[in-house]
Amino acid sequence: MFSPEILLPGPTPIPSSVQQAMMTPMSDHRGSHFAPVVSRVRDALANLFQVGPGGAVAVIPASGTGALEAAIQNFFAAGQRVLSISTGAFGDRFAKIAQNHGLSVDKVEVPWGQAFSPLDVVERVAKGLYAGVLVTQNETSTGVLNPVQSLASLLNNLPNSRRPLFIVDSISGVPSVSMEMVDWGVDVVLSASQKGFMCPPGLALVAATERARIHLKTEGAYGYYFDLNPYFEGQLPYTPAVSLWYGLDAALQLLQEEGVQARYARHHTLAKMAREFANAGGWHPIVDEDHASPTVTAIELPPSYDPGDLRKKIARQGLQIAGGMGAWHHHAIRIGHVGAVLPSMLFGGLGTIAHFVPHPDRALSAAWAAWHAYTIIEEV
Ligand SMILES: *Cc1c(COP(=O)(O)O)cnc(C)c1O
């Protein structure tokens, strides 16, 4: 059988150079073959996240949730108070992890489909004494891009003694949306290999600035395997996921060739295509344009549709898209346009989905709207 086309918010398509790099034969992971890969990847990641002098990026073997858990374990102790801002399923998950580790969690729940308000958050922070603020940059369950930079600048205005550690889940954000840790004042950013990084699942990334590293718990304060100290110091404490490292190295090379600004622009174009398609087809992109995620678009379907049934029909055409999460399961689909997705690929996928818009006479307008969104942006 042909492998499916995928427009998912992870895992994402793997470019052939990445696929090939992952077939590199094994060698001693502490030997001379692998060493240059490790240093290239570390340098490229530090540069990408802009961790600044004294900052570092830990690459640990886990899916993204492992990065969330590692951050909680390494930067906080049980009993410490954190403010957790949830704008959807992944924000809920971050709060739950903090609770399970015995932190005292004040949770702010923003209605699904909306972004958090930086002013509201900083007001809450000013009222309590928090060791940390946990947020999601790109909420994959709803397709919302949250204003992380604005919140960072407000938090930075707080006196140092009251300034919490600012921790951002950007698992479906970086490197598809901008992140300038030192300039913005973000202390810790979490990501993972299987979304914008165009690799298979299996590597979790924890980027920390020097300020964050000062808050790192000392070795032995908790657990063992997810102790980030050796990773930040540049060691590979346990057998690394060697093949995934080769893949990440090749993927970062592709990112450099494309250029980060060009990549952000590409995802902006893709999001615009998906939204215009949905609007013209008689469906409804749930999130306002101002807060729309560049990497995933949630589309509300009329009650006459069963999203599961629709996804099955689309899958029979060889295309996999995602369903709604949580309460959105019954009325929404999500189209992922993250990682190695080019406008032509999205256009092809939307062309398939166009068969299923509410009125047959709208199929052509929907496809045309997607194409138009693409060409308009190209001309700018
Ligand atoms: C994908 C994702 C995660 C982590 O999911 P894993 O399945 O553990 O990789 C966490 N947060 C966000 C925002 C995500 O998109």
How far, in Å, CA of 149 to CA of 264, rounded? Answer: 16
Q: Is the CB of 63 under 6 A from ligand 1?
A: yes
Q: Is the CB of 140 under 6 A from ligand 1?
A: yes
How far, in Å, CA of 188 to CA of 164, rounded? Answer: 11
Residue 18 predicted with pLDDT over 50: yes
Q: Is the CB of 146 under 6 A from ligand 1?
A: no
pLDDT score recorded for residue 227: 95
The residue-averaged pLDDT of 315-339 equals 97
The residues that bridge with 144 in the sheet, in sequence order, are: 139, 292
| Percentage of the chain modeled with pLDDT above 90 | 94
Q: Is the CB of 94 under 6 A from ligand 1?
A: no
Q: Using CA positions, which residue lies closest to atom 5 of ligand 1?
A: 64
- Nearest ligand 1 atom to the CA of 201 is 9
pLDDT score recorded for residue 380: 47
- Nearest ligand 1 atom to the CA of 137 is 13
Specify the amino acid at residue 114: Q
Task: State in Å: Cα 93 to ligand 1 middle.
Answer: 9
Q: What is the pLDDT of residues 258-302, one digit of tens each?
A: 999 999 999 999 999 999 999 999 999 999 999 999 999 999 999
Mean of per-residue pLDDT scores for the chain: 96
Burial class of residue 247 (count of CB atoms within 10 Å of its CB; 0-12, 13-18, 19+): buried
pLDDT score recorded for residue 375: 78
Residue with tokens 């696929």: 19
pLDDT score recorded for residue 223: 81
Residue 378 predicted with pLDDT over 80: no
Residue ranges of alpha helices (H) inside the chain are 16-21, 35-49, 64-75, 89-100, 118-127, 148-156, 181-184, 210-214, 229-232, 242-258, 260-281, 307-316, 343-353, 360-379
Task: State in Å: Cα 171 to ligand 1 middle.
Answer: 6
Q: Is the CB of 86 under 6 A from ligand 1?
A: no
Q: How many CA atoms lie within 13 A of 137 on its CB side?
A: 28
First-to-last C-alpha distance (Å) of the chain: 41
Specify the amino acid at residue 214: I
Query: What distance lies between CA 292 and its chain's CA centroid?
Result: 14
Residue 379 predicted with pLDDT over 60: no
How far, in Å, CA of 294 to CA of 274, rounded? Answer: 10
- The answer to whether the pTM exceeds 0.85 is yes
Confidence of residue 377 (pLDDT cuts 50, 70, 90): low
Tokens read off for 221: 């304060």
Residue 177 predicted with pLDDT over 80: yes
Tokens read off for 205: 């990334």
